[in-house]
Each structure stands twice: as structure tokens, then as C-alpha cells.
Amino acid sequence: MSLDDNEDLDSSTQTDDGNDKGQDDSVVETDDVAKLKEQNTRLFERAKRAEGFVKQDDGKWIKKPKPVEQPKPETKQTNSPPTTDADELRLIAKGLSDEEIDQAKIIAKGTDKTLAEAIKSDLFVAFQEKLKEQQKKEKARLNASKGSSQETRKSPSEMTRSEHEAWAKEMAANIQ
């Protein structure tokens, strides 16, 4: 290599002011690389911990065994009918509907009374009156007309082949 080539290399590392910054750049680059490597190792460790790994003293990553969950004993449901208490049976015997019994339970629970006391309360009496009024209104409504008593027939496009043939014969007999 000639002396001129060395000068060219030296001149490429020098700036216009004549200061040599080639060494400073390499120092900065090594600092940046060191910072990036450190950040990379922290991120890697964080990712491993998130995946459930544990770092041992020797630097190896081992996955923690998952704690085995003991199966919970399942409660067996029997197909027994819902239990009703004596007060509820008395209400049924008095001829109260299910809706009235449910309302009586709600009133009894809200006022801390027994069912027998709840059906005597003003709230329950008002509910019963309202319910009977609604039932009267429903019965008073006119039933929808069922239409004429004339027999409805299928249109020829809806009939099967045998129904269509029977219909055609009937129509032909009516014409004559």
C-alpha cells in the first residue's frame, strides 16, 4: 500500500476542522450497543417470566409446573319437587293462584310477616283487587270472529295431483 492511500484513509476519518473523531464514534457506538444489549436482555427476561418461566441461578430458564387444581366436588341435584311449606299449602287450599301466592311471599319477605299475615295486609288486598279487575277485563273482551262457516279450499296451485283431479271432476259436475 502506498503512502497516498494511507493519506486518503486518514483524510476520510478527519473532518473539515481537522479534528479526528473516528475514535469517538466507535466509543459512542459501543455504548449504544451495550445499552441495546442490556435492554434486550431485560425484555427477554420479562417475556420469559410472562410465559411462566423461572430463571435459575445458573442462568437457565425452566418453566414452573402449574399448580394442579383439585376438581371441586359436584353437587348432585335431585329431581325432587320443590318443597312447599304449610302456609303455602294453606293458601293453595284457599284457592289462591300461583301469582297471588308469589306476591304474598314477596310481601311477607318485605314486611317480615308470615304468609297468613301477608294475605291480610292492605298491599295484598290491593294486589288481589287489581288482579281480579284485569281478569274481568280480559273476559269482557270480544272474542275474535272465527269467520264464516264456509269451508276454505286450497288454491289449485297448492293441491296435490290427486286433489287437483278430484277438484276438476267436482267442478265439471257442477257445470253440467
What letter does residue 157 receive in the DSSP assignment? G
Place of cell 274481568: 136
The rounded mean pLDDT for the chain is 76
- Per the model's pLDDT, the better-predicted residue between 80 and 30 turns out to be 30
Q: Which pLDDT score, from 0 to 100, does residue 93 have?
A: 83
Find the Cα–Cα–Cα–Cα dihedral 152, 157, 159, 162, rounded to 10°.
130
Label residue 53 by pLDDT band (50, 70, 90): confident
Query: The whole model's pTM is what?
Result: 0.35
pLDDT of residue 113 exceeding 70, the answer is yes
Average pLDDT over residues 16-26: 54
Q: Which three cell numbers stand for residue 62?
A: 425452566
CA distance 116 to 91: 8
Residues near 101 by beta carbon (within 8 Å), at least 6 away in sequence: 88, 91, 92
Question: Does residue 116 contact residue 104 with C-beta atoms inside 8 Å?
Answer: no
Q: Which pLDDT score, from 0 to 100, does residue 170 have?
A: 87
CA distance 21 to 28: 11
CA distance 145 to 120: 42
Average pLDDT over residues 32-48: 89
